[in-house]
Chains A and B, each alone.
Chain A
Amino acid sequence: GAGVSQTPSNKVTEKGKYVELRCDPISGHTALYWYRQSLGQGPEFLIYFQGTGAADDSGLPNDRFFAVRPEGSVSTLKIQRTERGDSAVYLCASSPSPTAGELFFGEGSRLTVL
């Protein structure tokens, strides 16, 4: 596609449920990033993929959060046993290079945990 695509746009779930958020990066971009943005704050880094492997997952807050990118393109962020504090906008970004230039962002997935 022309840009980074994220689905769903909005997700409402109950505390304790499992959630998956999907990101389809710009074609040919090898680097893929997940960020979390709480209301009124700047995005915070979660995880970075180069190809299929998670090259840096130091931003994942705990072991309830996990992400995969099995074929080096689409990525899925998985959240187990959701908590109300997980409510945020989850942004995905891709880049043609892991070492230079800007990141291109999707419109994000807004997660609300009731």
Chain B
Amino acid sequence: AQSVTQLDSHVSVSEGTPVLLRCNYSSSYSPSLFWYVQHPNKGLQLLLKYTSAATLVKGINGFEAEFKKSETSFHLTKPSAHMSDAAEYFCVVRIFDMRFGAGTRLTVKP
């Protein structure tokens, strides 16, 4: 069985400051891990994915995530937030079917 927990339902940062969105997972097997983003009235867009290659995964728009097996974590980071990053972010674990976290809503203050 697999599951995923996003540790923060809301995160608020100021523009230009770092972003950290936390995700812990549970899986009996080696999972694939994904981060998706959803902007208002848009579909979910893939930011990045981990598939047992490099543990540090770089995605679009300056985001990256590090797979830490010992901590069962896959946190999403970005060095400097932009106003356009304001959206809802989903961490997903997949063995067979996709299991979504509850989502983290990111607010970026000017």
Tell whether A pairs with B: no
